[in-house]
Amino acid sequence: MTKCSTSGMTRRALLGAFAATAVAAAPSYSNAAGFLRGGGDIRRIRMYSGRTGERIDMIYWVDGKYIKDAVKEVNHFMRDWRTDQAKSMDLRTIDIMAASHNLLDANEPYMLLSGYRSPQTNAMLRSKSRRVARNSLHMQGQAADLRLGSRSVSQMAKAAMSCRAGGVGQYYGSNFVHMDCGVVRSWRG
């Protein structure tokens, strides 16, 4: 039987524990084979926020099913910290983040710089920088700006681009990578 390396629980026990809260909501992807590389039977997201001091280490998907309560916690964690507003994050973005993290084989959690952004926050950031898009996917809950201390911007971007599932922006000056579930594209900011 396969063991879950982080808790010592068997996979079967883990599935049983989450059976009551799991939802069958696997969205379809046009490039599933490339997208799911590194996804595995269990999808986990690990992040911390330097702004709020919060941390999250969450298994949010088990054997093809999203765990409703775990997804709610991820949504709350990725809220606009300036306005304390949350939005349902697009699960495709969370999946891209998790698959990229797995491909990087990093032990540290992502530092979340920006997840959901309210229109007010986006407008304020846009007034300070021309690099902020007017119709940012952050406002739709479809993007995240992330950093890893142990990996370069280039390494993170390559992992995200290998998913072939959305946009990847490389911001070397600010040391972060933008990942979204929009049209497949890449850029340097």
The domains found in the chain, sorted by start residue, are 20-188 (3.30.1380.10)
DSSP SS3 for 153: helix
- The answer to whether the CB of 178 falls within 8 A of the CB of 189 is yes
Alpha helices of the chain — where are they, by DSSP H? 11-18, 32-36, 68-77, 91-104, 119-128, 153-162
Contact by Cβ (8 Å): 10, 41: no
| pLDDT (tens digit per residue) in 76-113 | 999 999 999 999 999 999 999 999 999 999 999 999 99
pTM greater than 0.85 (yes/no): no
- Average pLDDT on 54-60 reads 96
Residue 59: CB atoms within 10 Å: 18
> Model confidence over 108-147: pLDDT tens digits?
999 999 999 999 999 998 888 877 888 899 999 999 999 9
